[in-house]
Amino acid sequence: MRAIRGLWRWRHNPLCRPTDLAEGRVGLVALLLVVLAAPVVGVLVGGATEDALRRSVREQHADRHQVRATVVREVDPAPLNVDPEGSVGGDPRTRVLARWTASDGTEHSGPVSTRLKDPRPGDRFPLWTDAEGRPTVRPMDTVTATTHAVLAGFGVTLLTAGAIECVRRLVVRRMVHHRYVRLDRAWERAGPDWGRTGTGS
């Protein structure tokens, strides 16, 4: 911003080179793209992500059902058991053998995870099942979907702004390289006569 402001003040200065003005214009275009285009891209991506996630939420809520399961007995934890429903820290899951009735009326049983701290036979707990009555994870809610969409839009906005800045730096670097090449050529032309008295007379 300081460079653009400075170039605006001394754009009519005889010492201002055309390359300086070009760099200022490149910076101004990059700034406008970061301020205007990057947020628009983020909003579009966030909106598309939210639409897709809300469709997924509706499908999950239509296909998954919460039933009441009954503990038969506690079982040993499965090795390397990763339960996506398990919470982080302070709320460990317990593996139990349970039986439940699916939404279609069929009876099922098998090892499942529960938040019961001290499960005993006959204890009941909520269990999410799919259309076939198999245990599954809790469906995503709309708040989680919206949060993911906002994070996606914000991330894309930052990535777009970063990409614009990278392109600006590459363009300016190329312009500076060409400037030095022209200076080297001019120096080569003037070099042999540099410092000679009466040169050109």
SS3 per-residue string spanning the chain: CHHHHHHHHCCCCCCCCHHHHHHHHHHHHHHHHHHHHHHHHHHHHHHHHHHHHHHHHHHHHHHCEEEEEEEEEECCCCCCCCCCCCCCCCCCCEEEEEEEECCCCCEEEEEEEECCCCCCCCCEEEEEECCCCCECCCCCCHHHHHHHHHHHHHHHHHHHHHHHHHHHHHHHHHHHHHHHHHHHHHHHHHHHHCCCCCCCC
Across all residues in the chain, what is the average pLDDT?
Answer: 82
- How high is the pLDDT of residue 155? 96
pLDDT in tens, 177-197: 888 888 788 788 776 665 555
Q: What per-residue confidence (pLDDT) applies to 14?
A: 62
Positions of the chain with pLDDT lower than 70, given as ranges:
1-17, 20, 77-92, 191-201
Q: What is the pLDDT of residue 196?
A: 57
pLDDT of res. 105: 87
Global pTM reads 0.65
Residue 190 confidence (pLDDT): 74
pLDDT at residue number 23: 80
